[in-house]
Amino acid sequence: MSGLLISLKPNEKFLVNGALLSNGPKRGQICVEGEAVNVLRLSDVIHPDDVRTPVTRLYSAVQTLLSGDCTGPEASDAIEQQYRTLEDIFANTDLSETLLKSYKAWVDGRIYSALCRLKPLIPIEAELLGLAPKSQEQPEAPLRAAAG
C-alpha cells in the first residue's frame, strides 16, 4: 500500500485539504492516497503564540501551507528561505541531518513528512536557547494596588 498511513486516536481531529474531520470513538487508521492531498493532525499544530524561534517559524509556515491557509510561490519561497537559514544555523551539528531529512521531504512534496521531521527539533532548539515551553512558563504575578 502506498500513500500516507495515519493512525488516529479516538475522537482525534485532523484537516484534509482544509476540511476538519474527526475520528470516531475508537482508534483507527486512514490511508491517504494521492499526491495532492494535504493532511494535518490538530495535535501536530503549533499555536501562533508558541512561534518564537527559527525552527518554530519554519514549522508554522509549513503547517500553514498544509492547512490550506496559505498557498502559492510566495509561501514556498519563504519556507525555502527559512530552510536555508536553519541550514546555516545547524551546520556541523547533530541536528543538521534531521533538518536535511525534513528539507528533502519538502522538496519531494511530502509536506506532512517534512513537518513531522521538524517537530523533534522544537524542544531541542528551545533547550539550546534556554526557553521554557509556553505551557511551563510562570505567569506574571498580578499587580497589586499600593495600600495607602
pLDDT in tens, 15-56: 888 888 899 999 998 888 877 778 888 888 999 998 999 999
Strand order in the sheet with 13-16: 19-22, 13-16, 39-41
Cell of 18: 482544509
Q: What is the DSSP letter of 137?
A: S
What is the predicted pLDDT for the residue at 18?
81
Provide the angle, in degrees to the nearest 10, between the axes of the packed helices 95-107 and 73-89: 160
The Cα angle at residue 133 between residues 132 and 138, in degrees rounded to 5? 65
| Cβ-proximal residues to 41 (8 Å cutoff; 6+ apart), any chain | 6, 8, 12, 13, 14, 15
What is the predicted pLDDT for the residue at 94?
85
pTM metric for this prediction: 0.77
Domain spans in the chain, listed from the N-terminal domain onward: 1-44, 45-131
What is the predicted pLDDT for the residue at 133?
60
Per residue of the chain (148 residues), what is the pLDDT tens digit? 467 788 899 999 988 888 888 999 999 988 888 777 788 888 889 999 989 999 999 999 999 888 878 777 888 888 999 999 999 888 888 889 999 999 999 998 888 899 999 999 999 888 888 887 655 444 443 333 444 4
Task: Tell me if 101 sits within 8 A of 120, measured CB to CB.
Answer: no
